[in-house]
Amino acid sequence: MRIELNHVTKGKNGEILPATSLTVQSEHATFVRAETEQRPTVLGLIAAGRMKPTSGTVTIDGEPSPRKLRDAVALVDAPEISEPAPNVPVSRVVSEELMFAGLPAHPLAARRALEELHLTAVARLDVAQLAPTERVRMLLELASRRPGVQAIVLVSPDRHGGDPAEWWRVCRTFAARGFGVLVIAGYSSAAAINAMPGDDVSDTVAADRVPLFETGELQ
């Protein structure tokens, strides 16, 4: 699976999103820097096939198919779009995500999912109380269970604080599992991640073939 954004823009003269090109593909983690309140979400929506760019092209496996893109891509934690409400308990987030994925979401199924995700101890906490890396891991794991999902677009994980290197390692584990992962975050996170050694990966990463960056801007 390969998603390509070629010089996509949004707004008059690219005022909302300037020309942006990137590639997301299976078994790769891609980091793209985007600042301002609106830009990361707009880029995420375009990359996930939920918004049409003003100019430029978006293709999946060489085909300009928004429907195929929407079926293949999970848009995760985008502010005001796909983020869970901050005062919702973790257990409810898990249950709702199971339902969204078309999986059993009754209390027993939710408890089993919480156990599988090692979230039983925090099940009653509001999702806003989760540690940033734990939040990313939970949301990516739940998104990966949706039928047909091949790629995950994670929007602005840095807004929750925490160590960017830690949640980046989590994203790489999902790339190592075969997913295409796109992370859209700010410059300070890019600097922190770019300072990591190329082979500094979590023990859970099955393959070191996952590149640190796929965008030339950050190499």
Please give the CATH number for the structural domain made up of 2-85+149-218: 3.40.50.300
pLDDT in tens, 171-215: 999 999 999 999 999 888 888 887 776 544 333 333 333 344 443
pLDDT of residue 209: 34
pLDDT in tens, 83-128: 999 999 999 999 999 998 899 999 899 999 999 999 999 999 999 9
pLDDT of residue 94: 95
The distance of Cα 45 from the centroid of its chain, to the nearest Å, equals 11
Those residues with Cβ within 8 angstroms of residue 152's Cβ, 6 or more apart along the chain or in another chain: 73, 74, 76, 140, 143, 144, 174, 179, 180, 181, 182
More confident residue, 200 or 29: 29
pLDDT of residue 95: 95
Answer whether residue 22 shows pLDDT above 60: yes
Answer whether residue 36 shows pLDDT above 90: no
pLDDT in tens, 45-92: 999 999 999 999 999 999 999 999 999 999 999 999 999 999 999 999
The mean pLDDT value for 134-148 works out to 95
The distance of Cα 167 from the centroid of its chain, to the nearest Å, equals 11
